[in-house]
Chains A and B, each alone.
Chain A
């Protein structure tokens, strides 16, 4: 099925550990985004990539890095995980042209940092 695929779906990390969240889309979308969702805070943008080869900071980038590996893949890395990074992480993609204005979201990665 076409869409946005995120791996892993669940992860528990110890404080200070590192990990990479993977995201891939097969809709030939140009733009990709990483959001985190916390109770009472809604969806907040961490980083985005307007097109292959570019990345930019969003609202809450501290503690994260990203890589736009190719047009399909956009990864999010936590170098030294902290309990404040416990959240649900969503990857999304969007076409930059035409009338497809909406984002397509993945199913999320639930991350707990202990």
Chain B
């Protein structure tokens, strides 16, 4: 079993829809969680990070973590065609220290259609 599981999609939604992207993980030692967005033929870029259970909001994006069920989600409100990308969830063991390595899911491909 992979440490981080993510539905690869593709997920297609109409413009303006609320998008829900999800990841599950198996290692309870994970302490912090990140979402990255990756456009085609580009490097991943950090969207949000959190290291606690609950919700964290940034504009149209909300990251939700449920450590008891080992489940994290990213919600996108009022989705736009420019949100079409692959979304990667990442998890790490600690918040400081250079050796902290992120483990990533395989990514979910999202397409927002006009």
Q: Contact check: which of B8, B36, B43 meets A40 at CB < 8 Å?
A: B8
Q: Is B32 an interface residue (CB 8 A)?
A: yes
Bound: A108/B42 CA distance, A = 7
Q: A33-B101, A40-B106 are in contact. List 13 more A-B contacts (CB 8 A).
A: A4-B43, A31-B100, A43-B104, A45-B102, A50-B99, A56-B99, A101-B49, A101-B95, A102-B49, A104-B46, A105-B36, A105-B44, A107-B43
Which residues does A use to contact B, with CB under 8 Å? Answer: 4, 30-31, 33, 40-43, 45, 48-51, 56, 58, 90, 94, 96-97, 101-108
Q: Is B68 an interface residue (CB 8 A)?
A: no
Contact A45 B43 (CB under 8 A): no
Interface positions, chain B 30-66, Cβ under 8 Å from A, are 32, 34, 36, 41-46, 49, 51
